[in-house]
Structure 1
Amino acid sequence: MSMRRPGWRSVGGTALRVLAVWAVSTLTMLVLAAALPDFRLQSADGDSATRTGVTAALGAGAFGLLGALVWPLLVRALLLVPAFVLGLLVFVLNGSLLLIALSLLPDGRGSAEPETAVVVAAVMSAASSATSTFLTVRDDGAYRRRLARMAGRGRRSLGRQDGHRPPPGTVFLQLDGVGHDVLSAAVRGKRPLMETVARWHRTTHALTPWRTDWSSQTGASQLGILHGSTEDVPAFRWYEKETGQVMVSNRPTSAAELQRRATARTGDGGLLTVDGASRGNLFTGGADQLALVLSVAARRGRHNRSRSGYFAYFSDPANATRTAGSFIAEVFREIGQSTRARLRRETPRLRRGGLYPFIRAFATVVERDVVVAAVIGDILSGRTAVYADLVAYDEVAHHSGPYSRDTHQVLRRLDRAVALIAKVTEHAPRDYRIVLLSDHGQSPGEPFADRFGLTLEDLVRAGCGLPVSRRARSAASGAEARDTARAALRRPEREGGDGSGGGRGPVVLASGNLGLVSFPDVPGRMTREQIDARHPSLLRVLADHPGIGFLLVRSAEHGPVVLGAGGAEHHLDSGLVIKESPLAPFGEGAVEAVRRTDRFPHTADIMINSAYRPETGEVHAFESQIGSHGGLGGPQSDAFLLWPRELTPPTLDGSPPVGAEAVHRVLRRWLDEAHGPQVPAEESPLTDEITTPFPAITRVIPDKTR
């Protein structure tokens, strides 16, 4: 009998919680019926208080059952619609369920106007969800059992050795685009922007900078961190002559190919091959638990789980209502902030209309909520290693600037997400170490086209003697969230619009303040001599332009050569410098970073880095961005690691790690120290199991993002 008591207590506790939630929903419905003139729970002739209470109880029960049974089916259809109607549809569908529930009441006692039904459904969902969370959290045993069961779907319990807890797990949280300078500022002062992170920095964690490769962007950095190789990733996007294709790091097909190449090159499945989970990333890292991972978004059939995290999260109508409300609030917040910037005539400033407010809301609200919920599910199910990317800051900084008031608000919300994840580790079946890191920083500056009145493509075509548009154009922004949103909504990949053109002439691509020029009709990489013979003015036009810092070309006679203004040259193989090195303003490590990229098979015929002003840290993005990354110059190359002091230091001499591959080795060492050497896998295993994060867990700590 004693063996069964915990089970009976669990069943009884669950029944009591269901009854409590039902009672609160009934009371909420009665209050709303009294307050809203268009919401009725009585017959036309009137009913007694008892009869009205019974009607409310029946209506609340029907609404709850419909939410549990019908809502998950609606979510699957909901995820097929464009992001900009997400918020509206969540409220409309929830209100529709309430109208159906009222229609089931006997004798027509329940009725409501459609707009009133939307309000009532939203309030009832919020009340019932808050009640359920409150009651569950107060019972730690039930809290862990319920969340772990819903998160892990009955995964194996973790074994104990000699009565001790299993080795600690590790959660790697990537704060996308948050540079070392930004994080350092956010944890300083009496009232730091990031209170939780600041407390860690003062007590339990150490902050270490690390330097990116020349290609300072998520595609290269995350591929290196998760798969141990940044080889042949010269930029965020580049042209491959042998196939005639433009590779773009955040396109599903390109991400899948980059992961395949890295895995083949290293012979290792990735950082997360042993009981790992990858959440919100471009690449899997070898994990067998995936959600919102772009490299599998192009797959068809049961192995395509890039959108499973969305379904898992939004299958709870309360979750959907809460996130939809925050989504709409974020859209209006962006409209207000952009209007304020325009009225104040702030410079530099971008046009932030069109779909951008919805793309921003997707990155800062929807993706954040889903990723955080998935990480919480992984923690409660005891996974060994979790790597998750929170992209909110990077998206806002591209358009508002890396040091703007807009990004300060995002940093505060990221801090609350980190605090929430840390809070949940108290209920995990094992201890957890949380490592915060970034993939790059961002450098401020006016976009090249805005500053100089023409795009990089226009300048290249002028240097080649080709026609140039009479009006200045802005290169489209390559912010990561846009294509991530398209993949999440199962939209086809965009063709064109990336500088590849469709006619004759060079292919000109932009990756932040890094530009790439390729001549598709010439096989292999063109030499400096070939370029000069074909377009005698091109290299000088580019090198002497005030918005360009240096060019990299390959000479048949001298090997890799860096060209600067006024005839300055730096021959990388011999070390010969003519006049002064164009790389001197870019600081330590620039020479080696450029030399390494020169060795890549798909380095462009001409690699172009924008000008850099050390006194201000400014660069000129070749895309429409006032906070950019992708090349050399300023804080964009300085990422960070915030790691528990109980771990061994990243480097023995205290120097910053150089390159994402070095960071991969550090993270793998930390995993090995806790669990022994990680057994590499030849290929990322894919199973049918989909982690379903606990729907209401994101309300353990109140959401103040609205």
Structure 2
Amino acid sequence: MRCTGVHGVRWRRIASQTGRSITVWAVSTVTMLALAALLPDFRLQSPDGDSATRIAVTAACGAGAFGILSAVVWPLLVRLFLLVPALVLGLLVFFLNGSLLLLALRVNPSGRAEAAPETAVIVAAVMSAVASATGAALAVRDDETYRRRLHRLATRSRRARPPCPTAPGLVCVQLDGVGHEVLVEAVRKGLMPTVGRWLAGGDGTRPTDGTTHPPVHRAQPTHRLTAWRTDWSSQTGASQLGILHGTSFDVPAFRWYEKDRGEVMVCNRPTSAAELQRRATLHTGDGGLLTVDGASRGNLFSGGAGEQALVLSIAIRRRGRANRSRAGYFAYFSDPANAVRTALSFLAEVAREIGQSTRARLRRQRPRVGRGGLYPVVRAFATVVERDVVVAAVMGDMLAGRTCVYADLVAYDEVAHHSGPHSRDAEKVLQRLDRSLALLERVAEHAPRPYRIVVLSDHGQSPGETFRSRYGLTLEDLVRAGCGLPVPRRAERTRSGAEARAAVRAALRRPVEEKDDHRTDRRSGPIVLASGNLGLISFPDVPHRMTKEEIDARHPALLTTLANHPGIGFLLVRSEEHGGVVLGAHGAEIPLAGLDDDPGPLARFGPGAADAVRRTHSFPHTADIMVNSAYDPADGEVLAFEEQIGSHGGLGGAQSRPFLLSPRELSAPAADDEELAGAEHIHRVLRRWLGESSGSGVPLARDVEEERAA
């Protein structure tokens, strides 16, 4: 009887799948007939005319051939085009889909169908969208079919997986750049109803004890919201390395110069990300948060996950099909319906950005930065392609029953940099991110194990105009002027540039500026790098970190020029006498050891600023001069040294206050009197939660290797 029952279920499943396929085919045939009637360059009959029956047969053959080619040939084409950049792949979607339709018409037995190339692109896009919508509508009625369809959207392991545990899994979704205050305001405005429901109470979620009882109404909130504080370097590289690998040691900024290697490190550069991950692993002796049955999606670092897609630190390696950085694109774009839908959204986002930036220029909004060139394409990739691929990958991970998933959605951060963290453009992105969270919540109902969804951010963003727009010169211009080196004429004519040159002449006891001052090669001098409102100044010809005394002897006006500039909040330099000092305006010089008693220029940056500065001072690759921009506590504004009106990377304002949104089934992130300070603290909290779910915690990577060897 049992065997008969199993066979009965199997036959019913086959019959159901066959019925859905026939229905999709019929709808596609009708769609093709309608398009042939509407588009003049698309024909399904001979020039002399055909009977209605022959035209219908031609359409049915064409729709069937297009469906088969989409299922068989399309994945091969996408795999081939993984060799090209992801942005190019997105733009090729329409061309590839249209080519498949032309091929389907060519192999049509009737030989009567034809279409112009540009028309074929339109027909293919419409047919793929209709077929996808029809299949989805039919699948919604069948949970098992819906689950299988979601499985196909994401990267899955090709090896056989062990039986899925009944203990809850953990899904961590990072909303890049969304500060605590921004999230609270978005919930208050109703922009993020899913998050609002979690915080205010509402419909229940899937039970976490492995049972399958239906959801019940829960009046109490399901999640708790906690703010945490970043290190001085409030940016994704430091925060995500600390969260995933347990240490952010020796990451002083988003980009910095390492004298011992003669190289500029940039956190979002594949070679730098790989090196930072290697150093973190050596520093902790630990593979990372995701070592045990984990998946890393869309991150800078792997976290030790066995399943990786769109991970920057492996972009320069080819460890296998499943672990290539672009493997996630294949899993998603192998379905032509996904490809067409995302490509259409991509083009719509490009148009939306062009319209929004044009409106900002016409209205002369301030502050404002340039948003031309390739930026509309970059924004569309971050807000559409990356989001769709990462969310689909996480859905697949949940349906595969993985223990821990960590994914990064970068959409808000990208838009807020150029439109502002509180702009309407950024708010629209928050609404779409909330819908992604709602989708993951629904997918969890079909997962083979219960899941606890944690949402967090790596940093916030602080608003404000750029340093250059306010003072007419860049930080590099100011540094060069303070060193007596030549600067562009536009910078010479500014008040800051003139004051800097006057300070140099006074320090060198030169009452008149001499022409010889401009004979120095423009390429010489210090290396000046920017990470939001954090600046780093290094002298590459000096092998060690210079002291204040050495800098004063070499460039007697530089530190004074910088410390007294109204756009600069404070400096950190090494001192022969005090070990390290913070410099501010009007001759303020506070030793690091005395910051608790007298914070000096750090006072306005709030609690924790002194600890953050002291920690950065201990890094081996801290720059000769660390520069933090001015900060106005009244409006929370900083001055970015980059061309960004929403920035992060240093101290000051909302950039240092990200959030952690966690289910109440998990223990509180911290005690009532304890502050969540630093990404390393978040790493320990997530490890604790994994331990609460599995009952064992996450072992170190070396322990896992020893168990495998045994």
TM-score for the superposition, normalised by structure 2? 0.89
Deviation at 1:108, TM superposition (A): 2.7
Which sits farther off after the overlay, 297-306 or 127-136?
A: 297-306
Which residue of structure 2 lines up, in the alignment, with residue 638 of structure 1? 657
One-letter amino acid of the structure 2 residue matched with residue 364 of structure 1: T
Q: Distance in 2 between matches of 1:106 and 1:128?
A: 22
Which of 348, 351, 356 matches 1:337? 356
Q: 2:470 aligns with which of 444, 451, 454?
A: 451
1:202 equivalent in alignment to 2:221 = no
1:181 counterpart residue number = 181
Q: Given that residues 318 and 324 in structure 2 are in contact (C-alpha distance below 8 angstroms), is that contact kept between their aligned partners in structure 1?
A: no
Whether 1:245 aligns to 2:268 is no
Structure 2 partner of 1:112: 115
- Aligned partner of 2:539 in structure 1 is 519
> 1:659–1:576: structure 2 CA closer, same or farther, 3 Å change rule?
closer
**What residue identity is the alignment partner of 1:4?**
H
How many Å apart are 1:106 and its aligned residue? 3.0
Contact 1:449 1:472 in 2 (8 A): no
Q: Aligned pair in 2 of structure 1 residues 502, 244: CA closer, same or farther (>3 Å)?
A: farther
Name the CA shift for 1:118/1:39 in 2 (closer, same or farther; >3 Å).
Answer: same
Show the 5 A alignment for 1:316-331.
316-331=335-350
8 A contact 1:263–1:682 mirrored in 2 = no
> Cα 1:661–1:603, aligned 2, differ >3 Å: closer, same or farther?
same
Superposed CA offset, 1:103-159 (max 9, x none): 112353101122221111111101111111222221112322454477536665664
Corresponding residue for residue 170 of structure 1? 170
One-letter amino acid of the structure 1 residue matched with residue 121 of structure 2: V
Partner of 2:698: 678
Question: Alpha-carbon deviation of 1:576?
Answer: 8.7
Number of residues paired by the alignment? 651
Task: Classify 1:462/1:641 alpha carbon distance in 2 versus 1 (closer, same or farther; 3 Å).
Answer: same
State the match for 2:61 in structure 1: 58
Q: 1:137 maps to which residue?
A: 140
Secondary structure of 2:253's aligned partner: coil
1:298 is displaced (CA, Å) by 1.2
In structure 1, the residue matched to 2:371 is: 352
1:531 and 2:551 matched: yes
- Aligned-residue offset at 1:80: 4.5
**SS at 2:701 equivalent:** coil
What residue in structure 1 maps to residue 440 of structure 2? 421
Contact (CA 8 Å) 1:572, 1:595: kept in 2 or not?
A: yes
Q: Which SS does the other structure have where 2:188 is aligned?
A: coil
Q: Could you say which residue in structure 1 is the equivalent of 2:207? A: none
One-letter code aligned to 2:448: P
Distance 2:89 2:678 in 1: 39
SS in 1 for 2:171: strand
AA in 1 matched with 2:275 = E
- Classify the secondary structure of the residue corresponding to 1:188: helix
How many angstroms apart in 2 are the aligned matches of 1:109 and 1:606? 74
Q: Secondary structure at 1:427's aligned position in 2? A: coil
- Name the amino acid aligned to 2:404: A
Aligned-residue identity in percent: 70
* 1:28–1:502 distance in 2 versus 1, CA, 3 Å: farther
The CA deviation at 1:75 is: 1.9
Checking the alignment, whether the CA contact within 8 Å between 1:382 and 1:430 is kept in structure 2 is yes
| 1:438 aligned onto 2:457 | yes
Q: Does 1:547 align with 2:550?
A: no
Q: CA RMSD in A?
A: 2.0
Q: Given the alignment of the two structures, is residue 469 of structure 1 paired with residue 488 of structure 2, yes or no?
A: yes
Counterpart residue identity of residue 620, structure 2? P
User: Counterparts of 1:202 and 1:577 in 2: how far apart (Å)?
Assistant: 42
Could you give the per-residue CA deviations for residues 39-66 of structure 1, whole angstroms, max 9, x where no partner exists?
A: 2112233222222211111101111121
Contact 2:297–2:309 (Cα < 8 Å) also in 1: yes
Q: Which range moves more in the overlay, 641-650 or 567-576?
A: 567-576
- Residues 1:584 and 2:587 aligned together: no
1:234-633 aligned at under 5 Å gives the runs 234-300=252-318, 302=320, 305-471=324-490, 503-575=523-595, 581-633=600-652
Distance 2:399 2:319 in 1: 28
Residues 569 and 582, structure 1, Cα contact 8 Å, conserved in 2? no
Distance 1:606 1:626 in 2: 24
CA change 1:167–1:310 in 2 (3 A) is: same
Q: Say whether the 8 Å CA contact 2:153–2:332 is kept in structure 1.
A: no
2:503 matched to which residue of 1?
A: none
SS at structure 2 position matched to 1:643? strand
Give the secondary-structure state (helix, strand or coil) at the position aligned to 1:583: helix
Q: C-alpha offsets along residues 399-445 of structure 1, whole Å, 9 cap, x if unaligned?
A: 00100011010000100111111111111001111000000000001
User: Structure 2 matches for 1:631-670, cutoff 5 A?
Assistant: 631-670=650-689
User: CA 1:155/1:381 → structure 2, altered by over 3 Å: closer, same or farther?
Assistant: farther
2:601 aligned counterpart, secondary structure: coil
Q: Which moved further from structure 2: 87-96 or 51-60?
A: 87-96
Q: 1:74 aligned to 50, 73, 77, which one?
A: 77
Q: Hey, what's the Cα distance between the residues in 1 that align with 2:703 and 2:649?
A: 29
Displacement of 1:682: 3.8
Q: Unaligned regions of 5+ residues in structure 2, if any?
A: 202-221, 493-520, 706-710
Whole-Å separation in 1 of the counterparts to 2:386 and 2:454: 20
Q: Distance in 2 between matches of 1:466 and 1:632?
A: 29
**Paired letter, 1:556:** E
Partner of 1:561, secondary structure, is strand
Structure 1 residue 10: deviation in Å?
2.3
1:218 and 1:439 in contact (8 A); partners too: yes
In structure 2, relative to structure 1, the CA distance for the partners of 1:586 and 1:197 (3 Å cut) is same
Query: Where does structure 1 lack aligned partners over 5 or more consecutive residues?
Result: 474-500, 686-706
Q: Give the aligned residue type for 2:200.
A: R
Distance 1:242 1:157 in 2: 45
Give how far 1:573 is off: 1.9
Cα drift, residue 324 of structure 1: 0.6
Q: Is the 8 A contact 2:616 2:622 kept in 1?
A: yes
Query: How far apart, CA to CA, are the structure 2 residues paired with 1:586 and 1:562?
Result: 13
SS at match of 2:551: helix
Name the SS of the counterpart of 1:573 in structure 2: helix
Superposed displacement of residue 16, structure 1: 1.9
The one-letter amino acid paired with 1:630 is G
